[in-house]
Amino acid sequence: MIDVNQLRNGTNFTLDGEIYKVLNYHHNKTGRGGATIRVQVRNLRTGTTREMTFPSGDRVQDIHIETREVEYLYDDGEFLNFMDIETYDQPSLRKDIFGDDVLYLKENTRLKLLSYENEVIDYELPTTVEHVVTESEMQIAGDTATGATKKVTTETGLTVTVPLFVNVGDKIRIDTRDGSYITRV
């Protein structure tokens, strides 16, 4: 058990049978009365986000999240299949768990699966991925005061805004945190 004053961004805990990850922490001390702890949390089973308020001194059950590195193998339509780097186990996860992040995955991409009591509850993508551009809008560099951009589509169907000099067939590096173009590789 940990005191709610020890909750910080990224801390995982359980409450009423649900698993939560702290996204934002705020300590509020009024002139009179006790302090309150307000946290914004994400339910790791359902993916919903909500705010919780605790009086100072409350306690919650902290948990240990196991991390294992896996390699993406293939998509069979409903499930994404991975291979554990160390044990060669091949876990499968529902495609809808990843949402739009599935567009960052291509064969042999390494990522981390986070599990609690042998239940996969979250994942961590690598910070950057490299994809080949397969489609590009036609743009002509004209009289622009700032850097002109265009939209391209990568081999996985991901749409990225890039500078005009990026062409079909180029390999680009993409930041998975916000989907932005970093550089041409």
Q: Please check the confidence at residue 135 and state whether its pLDDT lies above 90.
A: yes
Q: Please check the confidence at residue 143 and state whether its pLDDT lies above 60.
A: no
Name the residue ranges covered by the structural domains of the chain.
Answer: 2-62, 66-124, 128-184
Q: Please check the confidence at residue 119 and state whether its pLDDT lies above 70.
A: yes
Amino acid 35: pLDDT: 87
Higher-confidence residue of 53 and 140: namely: 53
The fold of the 66-124 domain, in CATH, is OB fold (Dihydrolipoamide Acetyltransferase, E2P) (2.40.50)
Burial class (CB in 10 A: 0-12, 13-18, 19+), 88: exposed
Higher-confidence residue of 117 and 143: namely: 117
* Superfamily for domain range 128-184: Nucleic acid-binding proteins (2.40.50.140)
Please compute the mean of the pLDDT values over residues 98-124 and round it to a whole number.
89
The fold of the 2-62 domain, in CATH, is SH3 type barrels. (2.30.30)
Amino acid 86: pLDDT: 93
Question: What's the rounded Cα separation, in Å, for the pair 114 and 56?
Answer: 29
Amino acid 140: pLDDT: 67
Q: Please check the confidence at residue 123 and state whether its pLDDT lies above 70.
A: yes
CB 155 within 8 A of CB 131: yes
Q: Are strands 59-62 and 49-55 parallel, antiparallel or unpaired?
A: unpaired
Residue 105's pLDDT band (boundaries 50, 70, 90)? very high
DSSP string of 92-133, one letter each residue: EEEGGGTGGGGGG--TT-EEEEEEETTEEEEEE--SEEEEEE
**Domains 2-62 and 128-184 belong to one CATH topology:** no
pLDDT digits (tens, 9 = 90+) for 20-35: 989 899 988 888 778 8
Check the CA dihedral 7-12-17-18 and report its sign: positive
* Alpha helix (H) residue ranges in the chain: none
